[in-house]
Amino acid sequence: MKKKFIALIMMVALVVSLAACIGGAPSTSGNDNANSTGGSPAARLLASEIPNMLSDANKFKGRTVDHLPGVVFNAISLEAGDYEYQCWADDEHNQQFVIISETDLGLSTDISGGSNIFVNGTVRGANSGENYFGAEISSAIIEVTSIEKSETSVFNLASKTIDVNQTQEQSGISVTLEKVELANKSTRVFIRVANGTSDRISIYGFYSYIKQGSTQYDQSDISYEEDTIKTDLNSGIESAGCLSFETIDSSDETFTVSIDISSDDWDIELQPFVFEVLQQEEGKS
């Protein structure tokens, strides 16, 4: 398998900012197969070891990873016998890793930029280089044994899912609140919107909000590219997806979700679509 990582990291400098740089060059002292816990090199990495592995993968050569979350952001090579992809290792894009495989594993057809995946494989070390700005970056290299694609975000996993399935209609526009996911860093609201009017409508995430008691929770900075709902719908179009809001209090049983939609037809006066959600009644942990 060709090892052309130095050149490709220089190339990726166009899409990686200083904020995404990962620590310094990997350590070269001691046994390459040594690890921070002193266990067998083939031992599975603990969840607590993953951040250290991403920062200095050479210390974890030969260790295995199980269900390592990542989001693909760049296809490095799609040549037969040499499949390589770059993945973000967190939703803030602070760390990354490279997955390699001699076999396709469905990557070239099923995995695209922005895809959420879980990776099983073996740590093969790290590759270091300088990005466009002259800063040194390091990427862990994972040789893949299997990959699972996720339909939802692999980061900021939901601690609780509340099935709602309530529908409201105004002037030919239908909005269904399907479910709400509570997570540590955000609250994900999944809606389905159908435009039954003859004009275009727009969904305004920045005017939508969650109200819990006397507190308002606005749109979150954390986005979920694959799940994000289309915000502009032409006549006859239906779209389903996610709006991301700030983290709410999971211990409070009741909150309301307010979805703001406007129409290009000035004669249609729409009020926000407001849904009351009862965690205790509809939810499941």
Of 219, 261, 226, 227, the closest CA to residue 244 belongs to 219
Q: Could you tell me which residues are beta bridge partners of residue 144?
A: 121
Between CA 194 and CA 215 the distance in angstroms is 29
Tell me: the pLDDT tens digits for 120-171?
999 999 987 665 566 677 899 999 999 998 877 788 888 899 999 999 999 9
Phi, psi values for residue 91, rounded to 5°: -80, -10
Which residues, 6+ apart, have CB-to-CB distance to 181 below 8 Å?
A: 158, 160, 161, 162, 187, 188, 190
Both tokens assigned to 73: 């952001």
In the chain, where the domains are located: 5-150, 158-284
145: exposed, middle or buried (Cβ count in 10 Å: 0-12, 13-18, 19+): middle
Q: Which CATH number fits domain 5-150: 3.40.50.150, 1.10.940.10, 2.60.120.260, 2.40.50.140?
A: 2.40.50.140
Summary mean pLDDT of the chain: 81
Paired residues of 129 in beta bridges: 137
Least confident stretch, 190-199, 208-217, 227-236: 227-236
Residue 110: the pLDDT is 65
Taken in order 52, 54, 59, 63, the sign of the CA dihedral is: positive
- Equal fold, 5-150 vs 158-284: no
| The CATH number of domain 158-284, selected from 3.30.413.10, 2.60.40.1840, 2.60.40.1240, 3.90.550.10 | 2.60.40.1240
At 13 the pLDDT is: 40
From residue 125, how far is each of 27, 35, 63, 82, 141 by CA, in Å? 10, 11, 10, 17, 6
pLDDT for 225 beyond 70: no
Whether 16 and 139 have beta carbons less than 8 Å apart is answered as: no
114: pLDDT strictly greater than 90: no
Rounded mean pLDDT, 20-26: 35
Q: What mean pLDDT is predicted for residues 22-28?
A: 35
Q: What is the mean pLDDT of residues 92-108?
A: 81
The answer, as to whether pTM is greater than 0.85, is no
What would the two tokens of residue 31 be?
A: 């046994």
83, 69 contact by CB (below 8 A): no
Mean pLDDT calculated for residue range 240-269: 93
**Which range, 11-20, 39-48, 156-165, 216-225, is most confident?**
156-165
| Rounded-to-integer distance, Cα 245 and Cα 191, Å | 13
Please state, in angstroms and rounded to a whole number, the distance separating the CA atoms of residues 138 and 92: 17
